[in-house]
Chains A and B, each alone.
Chain A
Amino acid sequence: MSNKKTFFEPIIHNNPVTIQILGICSALAVTTQLKPSLVMGIAVTVIIAMSSLIVSLIRSFIPKKIRIIVEMTIIATMVILVDQILRAYMFDVSKQLSVFVGLIITNCIVLGRLEGFALINKPIPSILDGIGNGIGYSLILVVVGAGREILGAGTLMGYSVIPQSLYNAGYENNGLMVLAPGAFILLGLIVWLQRAVTGHYEEE
């Protein structure tokens, strides 16, 4: 597989969230607003890319029977590093994401890419695959986050986007969008839309 394909495929055609249905938990939890979705996306991208690189570099030394433990150790280290750096340099954002940065450790996409790709590929393709999957994940988070913030709170990045005249005419924010079901509905619509466009179907 060419490097270009490795990078672009997970963004649309093999998107980890909408095609593989991975990382749903955090896609539901942090997407009530655009800003945390964005930061979460960047954090996950950095973590997948870095841990893919490291695992790929040491892939021929990892003993088979403890490979998952090694992968988890590397992911956990990266996650804690990112958390520490956010706390030191982006204090407000780290407060907003709170526990969810730590929970990146349990994001199936990260472990999935290490197991499925980095363990059997060279460093450059691995890092591209990591970034590609991270962007694919971020893309969905950003779309869901923007949708939920606009429909649920009438704002985007904290700024009002719905004109007051619309509210005066009887429009109301949709409270359901702030709750988890709102994310399920939006995510479901995106999955449907994407599969309708790309023609992807689950293999029997």
Chain B
Amino acid sequence: MRNSNLYTFIFISIVTIICAGLLSSAAFYLKDKQQTNVEVDMKKNILKAVKLLENNKMSQQEILDLYNQNIENYVVNNLGEIINLPEGILVEDIDPEKEDTKPESDRLFPVYVKKSRTVVLAYCIPILGKGLWSTMYGYLALEPDLNTILGITFYKQAETPGLGSEVEAENFQNKFIGKQIWDDEDNLVSVKILKLEPSPNSPNIMYEVAGISGATKTSDGVMNLLLKDLTKYETYFRNLRKELVQKEEI
């Protein structure tokens, strides 16, 4: 009996159905909690990039409150114009990864702005791109001059634990603070990631940081994705920078 094909077939069907049922119900009941985690994590990382997050021990509610009080957001298109989103769609819902697959003129690029009353304190944009194994997701925050890096974070990646996954580590991210993305001739140069610490005498030290040892591919990935994503916002940032110069002249 136990060797008959029918028994085998019935047995494996029962096992499969039970396992599938178990997994679907787990996925169903845990989904809300997992989604909240992802949403809070995203907002936490925007706050972290713009240096509003003081410690890691804040509750989820505190993070959401802090975010709502300090961060404004909108989307721009590839011509650098601010676009109104249709009713019911939030800027947070714009998935930069999906936007990359659209034709260039339809793409929307979210911008998160840290404001105190009407004064802009920082601009923050999502960044993402391939590392060695995975797509890395993060945020890059710029000072109001749109040149100096205020902060960078990565919050989702599946790089090698302990090596490439160090992109999430603070001591790697802190290396970017104060670096600049435009050169003296106003070209967008982004930041170059070297294998070693940049020499203190290097003329380009403002645009260079050291990569993660043992994770060259991940470091290269970070370098490429920074340039790629900053280029998307180049027109918009250029316009803003022109306005800044005009304001100074007045």
CB pair A77–B23 under 8 Å, yes or no, is yes
- Cross-chain contact of A81 among B22, B134, B160 (Cβ < 8 A): B22
CB pair A178–B23 under 8 Å, yes or no, is no
If A63-B2, A84-B30 touch, does A73 touch B161 (CB 8 Å cutoff)?
no
CB pair B11–A98 under 8 Å, yes or no, is no
Compute how far the CA of A95 lies from the CA of B27 in the bound complex, rounded to whole angstroms: 17
A70: chain B residues at CB < 8 Å are: 11-12, 15
Report how many residues on chain A are interfacial, defined by Cβ distance under 8 Å.
36
Interface residues of A in 36-67 (CB under 8 A from B): 36, 61-66
Stretch with Cβ within 8 A of B (4 or more), from A85-93, A105-113, A127-135, A191-199: A85-93
A30: chain B residues at CB < 8 Å are: 161-162
CB pair A178–B162 under 8 Å, yes or no, is yes
Report how many residues on chain B are interfacial, defined by Cβ distance under 8 Å.
33
- Cross-chain contact of B161 among A36, A66, A84, A88 (Cβ < 8 A): A36
A77: chain B residues at CB < 8 Å are: 19, 22-23
A148: chain B residues at CB < 8 Å are: 162
CB pair B165–A81 under 8 Å, yes or no, is no
Compute how far the CA of A65 lies from the CA of B5 in the bound complex, rounded to whole angstroms: 10
Compute how far the CA of A98 lies from the CA of B155 in the bound complex, rounded to whole angstroms: 12
If A33-B162, A178-B214 touch, does A73 touch B34 (CB 8 Å cutoff)?
no
Compute how far the CA of A175 lies from the CA of B196 in the bound complex, rounded to whole angstroms: 13
**B16 CB to nearest A CB, Å:** 7
CB pair B11–A73 under 8 Å, yes or no, is no
**A55 CB to nearest B CB, Å:** 11
If A63-B8, A66-B8, A77-B19 touch, does A32 touch B26 (CB 8 Å cutoff)?
no
Query: Within 8 Å of chain B (Cβ to Cβ): is A29?
Result: yes
B90: chain A residues at CB < 8 Å are: none
Question: A-contacting residues of B (Cβ < 8 Å)?
Answer: 2-3, 7-8, 11-12, 15-16, 19, 22-23, 26-27, 30, 33-34, 37, 41, 133-134, 155-163, 165, 168, 213-214
| Sample of 8 more A-B contacts, CB < 8 Å, known A63-B3, A84-B34, A88-B30 | A70-B15, A76-B19, A88-B33, A88-B34, A91-B34, A95-B155, A98-B158, A178-B214
Q: Which 7 A-B pairs have the closest CB atoms?
A: A32-B162, A98-B158, A88-B30, A77-B19, A88-B33, A91-B37, A63-B8
